[in-house]
């Protein structure tokens, strides 16, 4: 159910997807759908929370598994997990990034909080890297947004069945990101 909804929301958008389309894609009547979905907006919010929580969990786990303390290494870890998730779970990302406006005020604030929590992981490593000279950026906040969005953009064009392997893709983005941050290549 949730899987079919994710596909439709990603392809047609929240407002562009009707209850009856969701029901058909799930193989249910629109009435039955409400047993699983709650309201349409609650479904959207649940999908968004799941996606953001999963991304944050993956990033925290990979950071914890990395023995290195060097901000360059840790940013590289963040880029890799981010690119992997965005390349392999494009639907989730497109919905999270594109349908925030469809949420009610309270729910939107809640989802934005989850996003902030994730982005703080990046902010912390970039801040440390700037302090100890590993990175050279005039405006760390602008740089953080820039590289984050750069890495997110893979969800908008990458195709896993294309000629480019996900790990090669991630490695390319690690290079782009570290260079953009002016990483001292030590």
Partner DNA sequence: CCCATCCGATCGATCGATCGATAGGCTCAG
Partner DNA sequence: CTGAGCCTATCGATCGATCGATCGGATGGG
Q: Indicate the helix (H) or strand (E) that contains 13.
A: none
Torsional sign, CA 173, 174, 177, 180 = negative
148 CB neighbour count, 10 Å cutoff:
19
Measured from the CB atom, is 24 or 124 closer to DNA? 24
Measured from the CB atom, is 7 or 32 closer to a copy of itself? 7
Q: Indicate the helix (H) or strand (E) that contains 156.
A: none
**110 contact, one of a copy of itself, DNA, none, CB 5-8 Å limit per kind:** none
**98 contact, one of DNA, a copy of itself, none, CB 5-8 Å limit per kind:** a copy of itself
Token pair of 83, please? Answer: 């690119």
Give SS3 for 140.
helix
Applying the rule CB under 8 A, the residues between 16 and 35 that interact with a copy of itself are: 16
Hunting for tokens 């609650």 — which residue is that?
A: 42
**36 contact, one of a copy of itself, DNA, none, CB 5-8 Å limit per kind:** DNA
Q: State the minimum distance, in angstroms, from the CB of residue 177 to a copy of itself.
A: 8
Rounded to whole angstroms, the Cα distance separating 49 from 18 reads 21
* Site residues for a copy of itself per CB under 8 A: 11-16, 98, 101-102, 137-139, 142-143, 145-147, 149-150, 152-153, 156-157, 164, 169, 172-173, 175-177, 179-182
């Amino acid at each position: 159910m949730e899987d079919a909804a994710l596909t439709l929301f990603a392809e047609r958008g929240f407002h562009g997807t009707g209850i009856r389309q969701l029901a058909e894609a799930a193989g249910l009547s629109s009435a039955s759908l409400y047993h699983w979905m709650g309201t349409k907006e609650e479904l959207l919010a649940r999908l968004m929370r799941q996606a953001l929580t999963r991304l944050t969990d993956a990033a925290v786990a990979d950071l914890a598994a990395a023995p290195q303390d060097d901000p360059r290494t840790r940013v590289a870890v963040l880029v890799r997990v981010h690119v992997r998730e965005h390349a392999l779970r494009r639907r989730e990302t497109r919905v999270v990034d594109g349908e925030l406006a469809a949420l009610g005020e309270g729910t939107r604030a809640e989802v934005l909080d989850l996003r902030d929590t994730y982005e703080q992981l990046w902010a912390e490593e970039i801040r440390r890297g700037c302090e100890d000279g590993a990175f050279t950026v005039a405006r760390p906040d602008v740089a953080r947004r820039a590289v984050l969005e750069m890495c997110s953009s893979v969800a908008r064009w990458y195709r896993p069945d294309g000629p480019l392997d996900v790990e090669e893709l991630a490695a390319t983005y690690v290079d782009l990101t570290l260079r953009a941050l002016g990483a001292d290549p030590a």
